[in-house]
Amino acid sequence: MRYHKFIILAAAKLRRAGTKPKHKHRLIATQLCSYCSKIVALFVFSQVIGFALLLSTPSLAIAQTHLNSLNQSDTKPVLVIGFVGGCVHSDDMRHSEVQLAQRLQESYGSSVQVRMFENRHIAQAHHSIIGWLNSSDNNSVTDGRGPQPRIILFGHSWGASAVVSLARQLEQDGIAVALTVQVDSVAKVGRDDSVVPANVAEAVNFYQTSGIVHGRSRITAADPSRTAILGNFRFKYDKRPVECRTYPWYDRLLFKGHTAIECDPRVWSQVEMLVRMRLPAAPNPQTEIARLGK
């Protein structure tokens, strides 16, 4: 520690103080106070700088929403809808969004509904949500009694754009969305994936800017008083994550950055954290804590 130098100097002066006249003692005491002040100042400065650096990272910025999520009732029914990008099949386990859906379903079983769709099947996903809300388990939701449900939407590429389109349809139905997550969002012609509708409580955007295909760098809220934008977080890829080796060769060749963010465990661990914060406790919390800690 760089503070040691000041402490050692102060201690040496104290040892020599016994051999010096009394008027020297006051001088040494003054110097000692000066050294202590410097130590405190350096400590405070280092803490402020360290905290500022942490705040600049997506992980901490996202984690700050945890206190709000803890206040939500665990009795609320939850539905998680995910969209894959490009021409990917909704059950293709090579892709991170499909892997995330599987982990969530395995963790929560029947207590949370997790469903994956291809990005062109927005209407099918919308119909699935309406059917879920009208099911026998959620009758109290549709007639205004009981806890209101939590609906969470996430996706990559065209799938991220589909998230915003679906949220707009749900807004027309008067249905609230707890969270939308866009990962390297790419809008199809005639669609706007930059403005999050007012029925969404929280939204977050992860993106990269390299290559011929890259995601939207900024999302905004149609009504900032009703929607909190948790952040627009950029990721850079000088080197692709090892996990990309399992992806199709043409994706790795033609869409390097776009593929890198999809297979980046840093990104999807944050997506998973965001989703789990808004879910009820897993059936076996100790198992989940051990798994996430690996």
Mean pLDDT of the 57-79 span: 58
Cα dist. 197→77, 125, 175, 181, 182 in Å? 22, 18, 11, 13, 14
Give pLDDT, residue 125. 98
Those residues with Cβ within 8 angstroms of residue 172's Cβ, 6 or more apart along the chain or in another chain: none
Of residues 81 and 73, more confidently modeled: 81
Name the fold adopted by 75-292. Answer: Rossmann fold (3.40.50)
pLDDT mean over 229-249: 84
Instruction: Read off the tokens for 263.
Output: 């297979």
For the segment 106-115, the average pLDDT, to the nearest whole number, is: 93
Top pLDDT among 77 and 45 is at: 77
Residue 77 pLDDT greater than 60, yes or no: yes
Tell me, rounded to whole angstroms, the distance of Cα 141 from its chain centroid.
28
Distance CA 98, CA 95 (A): 6
As a whole number, mean pLDDT of residues 49-73 equals 50
Digit-coded pLDDT (tens) for 159-169: 999 999 999 99
pLDDT in tens, 94-104: 999 999 999 99
What percentage of residues in the chain have a pLDDT greater than 70? 64
pLDDT tens digits, one per residue of 200-226: 999 999 999 887 777 899 999 999 999
pLDDT of amino acid 70: 45
In the predicted structure, residue 228 carries a pLDDT above the cut 90: yes
Higher per-residue pLDDT: 26 or 168? 168
pTM of the model: 0.72
Query: Which of the four pLDDT bands, split at 50, 70 and 90, describes residue 17?
Result: low
